Amino acid sequence: MNDNDGQSGDIGRISSGTMILRLAAIALVILAIAGVFAYAGGWLTPHTLTGARIVDRFEQVNEVHPGFRRNHAKGVCLSGYFESNGRGTALSKAAIFLPGRVPVIGRFALAVGQPYAADEANTVRSMALLFKLPDGEEWRTGMNNIPVFPVNSAEGFYDLLLSSAPDPATGKPDPAKMGAFITKHPEFAKAIQLIHGQPVSSGFADSAYNSLNAFRFINAKGAEIPVRWSMVPVQAFRPFNSAMSNKSNTNQLFDALIAEIHNGALQWHLIITVGQPGDPTADATLPWPSERQHIDAGTLTIDHIESEDTSPARDLNFDPLILPDGIAGSDDPLLSARSAAYSSSFTRREGEPKSPSAVSTAETGK
Amino acid sequence: MARNPAQFALTSRLLHWLMAAMLLSMLFIGAAMVTSLGNYHRLVALHRPLGIMILVLAIIRLVNRTFTTLPPFPPTMSKRERLIASASERLLYTLMIALPLVGWGMLSAGHYPIVMFGPLHLPPILPVSPTLYAVLRKTHTIMAYLLFLAFLGHLSAILFHILIIRDRLLDRMALWPVRSHNHKDP
């Protein structure tokens, strides 16, 4: 082969000075690309808030409980079905709203970081659901029994976790820290009034669970509307009665739920609240006016309860942005942040050894 | 116009640069996604279908590679250098195919729906398993770093050839046709 002979002859023609310059140029290009990659990967900005850092904060406040969710750590799994009445189809093309029945699995939990914490009436209760649509799509949603979220940003939530953590000396949040927090995140003051103003129901069964964040529904014509949704119980509201509560049973709320489901299926209506132009979608601390249109899209029936120790719902990430076609996230920054933090928590716990749930199989079998 | 035998086939060159752009975007999206809060969801939603497109393209490349004649190595490359070049090419191909498969498998094991666009989604390729998910999740990251390093090595080698050896090695992969330099050949 005698091609390229004109080229290979060039090698000797570079002076050693030129060669050093060119080698330096190559090194510079490689370093620059590696630098941009490091920047994209967050290594140069270690103080930026990430999903992992939010989960770190949970671990800082609650310690690490291997194998458990970093928040909503204490829970029990459910299954049942959702019967759509077809009324949602005008708002969203999502297959969930076509008339008919889809299977549901999910989880009731308390918004605590400690998986063995004693049940308290004032702890936030949650209902997380996975709707399995006939075409293989999924809708996952995690809802809470509070009317609004206490903060409107991930930074606010990150700060709140530390500021509201009990002071080891008093067992209560440090008022000075909470004061500084409220100055920095003023939306909290109004939100917490709304949260505390809501009467506490007797348990999981007579609680309403709210999406808190706004979403968008897209219908078959491509029309988009802002929505929020709630699971509103068919079970009549009964106020929590502290005199009746059994403090010696650390699982009193879960045990009551188990007994109720064993007694008969529990039901909730999926109520879609239709937002109007101008309704806040990027701020989960702000309620929408109560006169907004509410559409009952169908009924959720929960007829089976199972310990996390055996249920597939333990190893599910109830990422609020796992949505079917026809439902999409809004501009609420909390949604993407929840998605990131849930993913981080999921990845950590899935790699850890599992311990039995406080709500054991023996408990759910009672 | 007959192809310059010192150049890769046009299909190979097109696939190479398309893949280069996609892989680089993918590596940066992957790195940014893990550390972004506000754009996390948007980046993940892009990462999944782009990964599957890379998998499809990598398979097309592999098939294309077996059916096209490759240009010879230039004489400026020593035997050892040719071995290293072939090994790194094999590593790049392996990662281009394995990374998306590990990602797909990891989502399957983690019980995630594998959403592409709109209602379009892929079936799981592995059973749901927390341990498997955790292992594959780590593997995905390690392989991505390895791919980034392999890319940097690939780029360093080509820059070395262009700037220091000056053997016009890039002509082999140039998108535009390059005149043959072997004028003396019959």
Kindly tell me if the per-residue pLDDT of A4 is higher than 60.
no
Does any domain span residue B40? Answer: yes
Q: Do A8 and B76 touch (CB under 8 A)?
A: yes
Query: What token pair was written down for B126?
Result: 């592995």
Candidates B74, B123, B164; nearest CB to A23: B164
Full domain range(s) for residue B126: 10-173
Does any domain span residue B27? Answer: yes
Mean pLDDT rounded to a whole number for chain A:
94
Query: What token pair was written down for A298?
Result: 């169908």
Does any domain span residue B184? Answer: no
Looking at the 3D structure of chain B, how many domains does it have? 1
Q: Do B159 and A26 touch (CB under 8 A)?
A: yes
Torsion region of A222: left, alpha or beta (phi above 0 gives left; psi -120 to 50 gives alpha): left
Which 3-state string (H, E, C) describes B31-68? HHHHHCCCCHHHHHHHHHHHHHHHHHHHHHHHHHHHHC
CA distance B165 to B163: 6
Residues A222-237: what's their mean pLDDT? 97
Tens of pLDDT along chain B (186 residues) come to 456 778 899 999 999 999 999 999 999 999 999 889 999 999 999 999 999 999 999 999 999 999 998 898 888 899 999 999 999 999 999 999 999 999 999 999 999 999 999 999 999 999 999 999 999 999 999 999 999 999 999 999 999 999 998 888 898 999 888 876 554 443
Helices (H) and strands (E) in chain A, counts: 9, 10
Q: Do A40 and B110 touch (CB under 8 A)?
A: no
Does any domain span residue B154? Answer: yes
Chain A hits for B181, Cβ within 8 Å: 3-4, 6-7
- The reported pLDDT for the residue numbered B181 is 57
Known catalytic residue at A72: yes
Q: Which domains does chain A have, with CATH numbers?
A: 49-147+198-364 (2.40.180.10)
Does any domain span residue B183? Answer: no
Tally C-beta pairs within 8 A across A and B. 159
Candidates B35, B128, B184; nearest CB to A48: B35
Residues A193-214: what's their mean pLDDT? 97
Q: Could you read off the pLDDT of A253-304 as tens digits, one per residue? A: 999 999 999 999 999 999 999 999 999 999 999 999 999 999 999 999 999 9
Does any domain span residue B42? Answer: yes
CA distance A63 to A56: 9
Q: Which of the residues A65, A72, A262, A294 is marked catalytic? A: A72
- The reported pLDDT for the residue numbered A38 is 95
